Chain A
Amino acid sequence: MYLGEWSWAGQIGHLSAIVSLVAAALASVAYANSNPFTLAPDQTIWKRIGRISFYVQTGAVLLIFFLLLYLIHQHRFEYHYVWKHSSKSLEFKYLLASIWEGQEGSFLLWLLMQGVLGLILIRTAKIWESPVMSIVSFAQFCLSTMIIGLSIFGWKLGSSPFLLLRDSGVLDGAPALHLDFDTSQPLIPNYLEKITDGNDLNPLLQNYWMVIHPPVLFLGFASTLIPFAFALAGVIHRRYTEWVKPVQPWALFSTAVLGVGIMMGGMWAYESLTFGGYWAWDPVENASLVPWLIGVAGLHTLLIYRHSGQALMSTIVFFVLTFGFILYSTFLTRSGILGETSVHAFTGSGMNIQLLALIAAFLLPAAVWIGLRYREIPKGQTEENLSAREFWMYIGSLLFFLSAVLIIGQTSLPVFNKIFGTTIAPPEDVEFSYNSVQVYIAIFLALLTAVTYYLKYKQTAPALFWKRLLIPLGISVVLAVGFVLFIGIEYTAKGPGFQAALWVSAICSLFSVVANASYIWIGIKGNLGKSGGAIAHVGFALTLLGIVVTSSNKQVISQNNNGFATPLGEGENPRENLTLVQGVPAEMGGYTLTYEKDSTHPKKKLWFYQVRFKSKDGKEEFVLLPNAFVNYKGNKGLMANPDAKHYWDHDVFTYVTSLPDPEAKEDTTSFRRETVQAGDTIYYGKGFITVGDPRRIDNVPEELFGKGGRVVELPVRVNRRTGESVSLTLKSAWARNQWMPLADTLQADGMILQLQEQQADGGLIVGVKESDTLLKYVTLKAFHYPYIRFLWFGIWLTAAGLLISTRRRMLQWLQETKP
Chain B
Amino acid sequence: MKKTQLALLIGIAACIGVLLSFMKTTSTYDTIDTARKKPGQFVHVMAKLDKSQPIQYDALNNPNYLQFSAVDSLGARMVVQYNNAKPENLEMSDRLVLKGRYRDSVFLCQEIQTKCPSKYKEEEAKGMKHPGEVPLPNTQP
Contacts and interface: CB of A to CB of B under 8 A. Distances in A.
Contact of A561 (B4, B64, B120, B138): B64
A459 interface: no
B111 to A, nearest CB: 9
B76 interface: no
A190 B90 CA distance: 38
Interface residues of A, number: 82
A384 B2 contact: yes
A389 interface: no
A812 interface: no
Contact of A577 (B19, B27, B63, B108): B63
B101 interface: yes
Nearest to B114: A637
Contact of A572 (B28, B83, B125): B83
Given A199-B134, A410-B19, A181 B141 contact: yes
Contacts, number: 190
B56 interface: no
Nearest to A348: B121
B95 to A, nearest CB: 9
A398 B15 CA distance: 11
A634 B131 contact: yes
Given A177-B136, A340-B44, A386-B3, A564 B61 contact: yes
A658 B89 CA distance: 11
Given A174-B136, A427-B22, A775 B110 contact: no
Given A173-B127, A181-B139, A427 B85 contact: no
Contacts of B138: 176
Contacts of A423: 28-29
Contacts of B136: 174, 176-177, 194
A181 B43 CA distance: 48
Contacts of A402: 11, 14-15
Given A170-B124, A195-B134, A571-B101, A384 B19 contact: no
Contacts of B82: 573
Contacts of A424: 23, 26-28
Contact of B128 (A173, A426, A579): A173
A197 B133 CA distance: 10
Contacts of B125: 168-170
Nearest to A304: B4
Interface in B51-95: 57, 59-64, 82-86, 88-92
A636 B121 CA distance: 20
A167 to B, nearest CB: 11
Contacts of A176: 136-139
A135 B97 CA distance: 43
A492 to B, nearest CB: 19
A564 B120 CA distance: 41
B127 A174 contact: yes
B85 A347 contact: no
Interface string A776-819: 01010100000000000000000000000000000000000000
A433 B8 contact: no
A635 B84 CA distance: 22
A738 to B, nearest CB: 36
Contacts of B3: 383-384, 386, 391
Contact of B63 (A399, A637, A658): A658
B37 interface: no
Interface string B4-48: 100110010011001100110111110000000000001110100
Nearest to A423: B29
A575 B64 contact: yes
Contacts of B85: 577, 657-658, 779, 781
Interface string A292-335: 00000000000000000011000000000000000000000000
A636 B86 CA distance: 13
A632 B116 CA distance: 14
Given A194-B137, A383-B3, A573-B84, A172 B127 contact: yes
Contacts of B46: 340
Interface in A542-586: 561-562, 564, 566, 568-569, 571-573, 575-579, 581
Given A384-B4, A561-B64, A409 B59 contact: no
Contacts of A640: 88
Contacts of A775: 60
A657 B128 contact: no
A81 B29 CA distance: 36
A350 B97 CA distance: 23
B4 A345 contact: no
A779 B127 contact: no
Contacts of B120: 347-348
Given A391-B4, A410-B22, A573-B110, A425 B135 contact: no
A634 B44 CA distance: 30
Interface in A369-428: 383-384, 386, 391, 394-395, 398-399, 401-402, 405-406, 409-410, 413, 423-428
A423 to B, nearest CB: 5
Given A168-B125, A173-B126, A384-B2, A579 B63 contact: yes
A30 B68 CA distance: 65
B26 A427 contact: yes
B132 A635 contact: yes
Contact of A425 (B28, B88, B132): B28
B27 A576 contact: no
A195 B108 CA distance: 45
Given A176-B136, A347-B120, A777-B59, A573 B64 contact: yes
Interface of A: 83, 168-177, 181, 194-197, 199, 310-311, 340, 343, 345, 347-350, 383-384, 386, 391, 394-395, 398-399, 401-402, 405-406, 409-410, 413, 423-428, 433, 437, 561-562, 564, 566, 568-569, 571-573, 575-579, 581, 632-640, 657-660, 772, 775, 777, 779, 781
21 contacts: A83-B134, A172-B127, A173-B128, A175-B139, A181-B139, A194-B137, A199-B133, A199-B134, A345-B119, A347-B119, A347-B121, A349-B121, A568-B83, A571-B110, A572-B108, A577-B59, A577-B85, A637-B88, A639-B88, A657-B86, A657-B88
Which 3 pairs show the lowest CB-CB distances between chains A and B? A173-B127, A634-B132, A657-B85
Given A171-B134, A577-B85, A578-B63, 6 more contacts: A199-B133, A405-B15, A577-B59, A577-B84, A633-B131, A779-B63
